[in-house]
A and B are shown apart, each in its own frame.
Chain A
Amino acid sequence: MSASAERAVADSAEFPSAAPRPEPGVVRPYHFPSFQTRILPNGLRVVVAPVHAHPVVTVLAVVEAGATRDPLGKHGLAVLTGRALAEGTVNMSALELAERVETLGTVLDTGADWDSSIVQLTALRERAGDAFAVLAEVLRRPSFPADEMQRLAEERLSDLTQIRADARGLADVALNRLLYASTSRFARLAGGDERSIPTITRDDVVRFHAEHFVPEATALLVVGDCSVEEAVQMATQHLGDWSGTAEPVPAPDASVRFTDCRIHLVAKPDAQQTELRLGHVAVPRAHPDYFPLVVMNAILGGLFSSRLNLNLREKHGYTYGAHSTFDWRRAASPFELSSAVQTDKCADAVREALHEVRRMREEKVSDEELSLAVSYLDGVFPIRFETTAAIAGGLANVEIFRLPSNYFDSYRERVRAVSADDVLRAARTHLDPAKLQIVVVGPPDALQSPLEALGVGPVTVHAPTDELFADD
């Protein structure tokens, strides 16, 4: 696109001339913070990264107690248990716990996703010991008060009501619902739905905690202004006599619902715009093609200057933004394209998005595109780990996805090793336009005919309440 072809609002002569665009200086070395792993006699893994730049310490406990461990019909148990950890311990009521944590100037973050539960806080150095003691108590001795459990269940139902009113929420829920077979845990919301939440009892939560929150299934990450010895000493003092053994995590069912491309139109007649998702189930996080896929995704829809965003936003103005991503899990993970587009351009946006996915498989990316993606991922690496919480998050991924301990040391090298051939091979192997499920949330009258006219697959119209939230 040549800007000079169009008449500009002012001539260059009016303005001072510029120095030429500068070349980069000499790269200063960066190393991901070094860390040590100690395994306590009870099996607890303690991973410590001393980082003394600022007087803060992040403590993050990661437990193999994610939503994939929910028993059949009890969808939402792991997430509810994770949230309920902050509702009190055997020694403190919910409000006493909050009071204790917040008077220490910190915030207790508890929750669960598909593969793990977490308990996390960041405290100033001088309060880190006290904060650690609270975190250990929350991890080991939560009390799950019945009235607070009731309130959390009500709040979850309230969240579901909000999700249903929000086009973005509806689109995300519908896509996950439609990607995976109804036998798969992934087809249901991680946090549970209107059918499952009322069936979860306090006993279920107590049992889930007792079975899965055990030292063998837990990694404790300590990052910040704290030595390895101090961290190990705190862990030994507060968690050394914690006991229990872990059952191995069974491989979840990640089978897909449809094998052909379909369009699912979720009717929201009052919508001012159309939420758009395209996705299919791809590969697990630990797949050997991870690095080619990350580079491929950056080019397709990960960067601002990605094909998808330049096409849908900068070329056509259909949208404020268009992106693609892998929602990484231990099991086969979804690949998704997402955007919110002008309703009268929705069919055009779908056509352009499909065109970009096909193009990734048909021809090699240009040297320019490859070098942009690789140099971005390589260069931005230190910026991703500026804070103790970000470093702890990175180390948590190493634990959850069982990545090699030198993962971050070799990360940049492995990104730089990706070639255009690798990207093409990864796209051909792992992207499949013929399997994409297309979710469109917007006014059905304006959308149905143009989408049908695209001819990419059958169009089904759903009401927002249609089986999308409830069990079959």
Chain B
Amino acid sequence: MQIPVESYRLPNGLLVVLSEDHTAPIVAVNLWYHVGSANERTGRTGFAHLFEHMLFQGSANVGANEHFEFVQRAGGTLNGSTWLDRTNYYETLPSNQLALALWLEADRMGRLLPAMTQPKLDTQRDVVKNERRWSVDNQPYGTWWEKLPALCFPPEHPFHHSLIGSMDDLDAASLEDIAEFFRTYYTPDNAVLTIAGDFPAAEAKRLVEEYFGPIARGRGKPALPDMSVPFSFGGALREVVPDACALPRVFVASRMPVLGTDEYYAASVCSAILGLRTGSRFERSLVRQQRIASSASCFTFDLAKGADLFVADVTALPDVSPERLEAAVHAELDRVQRDGVTDHEVQRAIALTETHFVTSLQSASERADQLSRFATYFGDASLVNEQPARYRAVTAEHVSAFAREYLTAENRATLMYVPIEEPSDADAADVEVAA
């Protein structure tokens, strides 16, 4: 399966990717800005994400909350998300509404600041604090996605600090910070605009030129510091987190080469062999044979700068101690590191990856997001079409070599969640289970 791809740049630096497909009268508009929490300055953790919220608060010609209203009134869906090194904004609409989506995105890329006010910032700060409480603080294990990068990258590294941010830093964010961040990072030369679905290319190009053409190129953004780190922690790292959770859960992360490298594809296949679906090693061994885990998976973080992370994520069954779980996960990592994998395991992993690739690209929004992703990280959206071949090129030898080199004991950071004892509840639960 090949996705059609046409790419070009506007004189102001905006990279435009078009992918026509007239299957259904639907069009997806997707913008990636090459900025994320890694670009935040000291004392402003969480700012990139707070800023993403502000992009839905209107722009010079769009009132507060009208961005949502216009798109939904047009019959479209929309959202945005912030990651360590990028932020994306996306809409999927009936194809006759393409112009509206482009106009809205251009208005906030070109004219955000006239709509930014203190009351809006104060409200979104409260919303984001409640998002933090909801997704991190008030959820069992919710802190893992800030604790794991913090454990795996040194304090001065741009991936070390929290993406959602601390309450204190959120409090400190000002309107001046908004203006500065906008002028530095929300510029056409720091963005990729992808349009996927049912549209005539000539009409799309005309609209892009009309709406985005007049927006001035940026003054350049400060370079990120050198993000390379050794592919080893130089010894096992370990952090124990007492948490308001019911069952122990262990994460083990290893540093590995970044997204797009040959090692990345070997790692991705290795993660599927260890921890994707019922036929995986973790499921066979930890869940079914040893019966110590209630769930077990393995994945890559998909970071494109410095180092990526290979992560095992395993939750205990009741009455299994955190130490026993931890030892069993490390034993599986030892085994693959020492003995490698078989051809058959590789074939299973690749077959699952291939089907997932084709089924997910049925959605225009997903096609657009993948095109933006490869265009942002590698300057070439058409790399999407090479993904199945990159996976098919992976052999058992590649995966075994990856495991041998990167899943060593010296390159493992263990983050272990341990339930805080709550005597009354725990006792009651034991009695009920036994009854």
Q: Is the CB of B75 within 8 A of A380?
A: yes
Q: Is A236 an interface residue (CB 8 A)?
A: no
Most chain B CB within a 10 A radius of its CB, from A10, A198, A372: A10
Chain B's interface size range is 35 or more
| B76-119 interface code vs A (CB 8 A; 1 in, 0 out) | 11000000000000001111111110010011001101111111
Q: Is the CB of B107 within 8 A of A167?
A: no
Q: Is the CB of A10 within 8 A of B288?
A: no
Known: A1-B64, A158-B318, A371-B73. A387 touches B278 (CB 8 A): no
Q: Is the CB of B130 within 8 A of A9?
A: no
Q: Is the CB of B111 within 8 A of A18?
A: yes
| B55-76 interface code vs A (CB 8 A; 1 in, 0 out) | 0001011011100111011111
Within 8 A of B (CB), among A434-472: 463-465, 469-470
Q: Within the complex, which residue of B127, B138, B361, B425 is in contact with A317, where a contact is CB–CB below 8 Å?
A: B127
Q: Is B389 an interface residue (CB 8 A)?
A: no
A267 CB → nearest B CB, Å: 10
Within 8 A of A (CB), among B108-165: 110-111, 113-120, 122-131, 133-135, 137-140
User: Which residues on the A side are within 8 Å of B115 (C-beta)?
Assistant: 3, 8
A-B contact pairs, 27 of them (CB 8 A): A3-B117, A8-B116, A16-B110, A16-B215, A22-B100, A24-B74, A25-B95, A25-B99, A29-B25, A56-B359, A86-B278, A98-B277, A102-B278, A102-B352, A103-B279, A103-B348, A105-B352, A162-B246, A165-B140, A165-B244, A194-B435, A273-B138, A317-B126, A319-B127, A342-B130, A382-B25, A465-B432
- Other than A166-B140, A372-B73, give 15 A-B pairs with Cβ distance below 8 A: A6-B120, A8-B115, A11-B114, A24-B100, A28-B96, A30-B25, A54-B362, A95-B288, A161-B246, A271-B138, A310-B65, A342-B133, A380-B75, A383-B77, A383-B94
Known: A54-B1, A305-B68, A465-B425. A124 touches B354 (CB 8 A): yes
Q: Within the complex, which residue of B1, B119, B127 is in contact with A320, where a contact is CB–CB below 8 Å?
A: B127
| B330-366 interface code vs A (CB 8 A; 1 in, 0 out) | 0000000000000000011001101100110111100
Within 8 A of B (CB), among A46-101: 53-56, 86, 94-95, 98-99, 101
Within 8 A of B (CB), among A5-43: 6-12, 14-19, 21-30
Known: A9-B117, A28-B198, A165-B246. A464 touches B425 (CB 8 A): yes
Please, which residue of chain A has its CB at the minimum distance from the CB of B117? A6
> How many chain A residues touch B (Cβ–Cβ < 8 Å)?
99
Q: Is the CB of B130 within 8 A of A19?
A: no
Q: Is A341 an interface residue (CB 8 A)?
A: yes
Q: Is B270 an interface residue (CB 8 A)?
A: no
Q: Is B179 an interface residue (CB 8 A)?
A: yes
Q: Within the complex, which residue of B116, B245, B291 is in contact with A165, where a contact is CB–CB below 8 Å?
A: B245
Show the binding face of B for A, using Cβ within 8 Å: 1, 23-26, 58, 60-61, 63-65, 68-70, 72-77, 92-100, 103, 106-107, 110-111, 113-120, 122-131, 133-135, 137-140, 175-176, 178-179, 198, 207, 210-211, 214-216, 244-247, 277-279, 283-284, 288, 291, 294, 317-318, 347-348, 351-352, 354-355, 358-359, 361-364, 419-420, 425, 428-429, 432-433, 435
Q: Is the CB of B355 within 8 A of A123?
A: yes
Known: A27-B94, A105-B352, A305-B72. A161 touches B318 (CB 8 A): yes
A121 CB → nearest B CB, Å: 10
Show the binding face of A for B, using Cβ within 8 Å: 1, 3, 6-12, 14-19, 21-30, 53-56, 86, 94-95, 98-99, 101-107, 122-124, 151, 154-155, 157-159, 161-162, 164-168, 194-195, 198, 270-273, 275, 303-305, 310, 313-320, 340-342, 371-372, 375-376, 378-383, 386-389, 463-465, 469-470
